[in-house]
Amino acid sequence: MLSIHQEFTSSLQYAYDMGYITNMLQNKEKQSNQSQGQNDQIQAFVDAQKQELLDFAIKIQ
Can you give the pTM of this predicted structure? 0.58
| CB proximity list for 2: less than 8 A, separation 6 or greater | 10
Residue 7 has a pLDDT of 87
Residue 1 confidence (pLDDT): 60
Distance of alpha carbon 61 from alpha carbon 54, whole angstroms? 11
**pLDDT score, position 2:** 67
> What is the pLDDT at residue 15?
92
Q: Do the beta carbons of residue 32 and residue 40 sit within 8 Å?
A: no
Q: Which H or E run includes 61?
A: none
Which portions of the chain are predicted below pLDDT 70? 1-2
Give me the helices (H) in 1-61, please: 4-60
CB atoms within 10 A of CB 15: 10
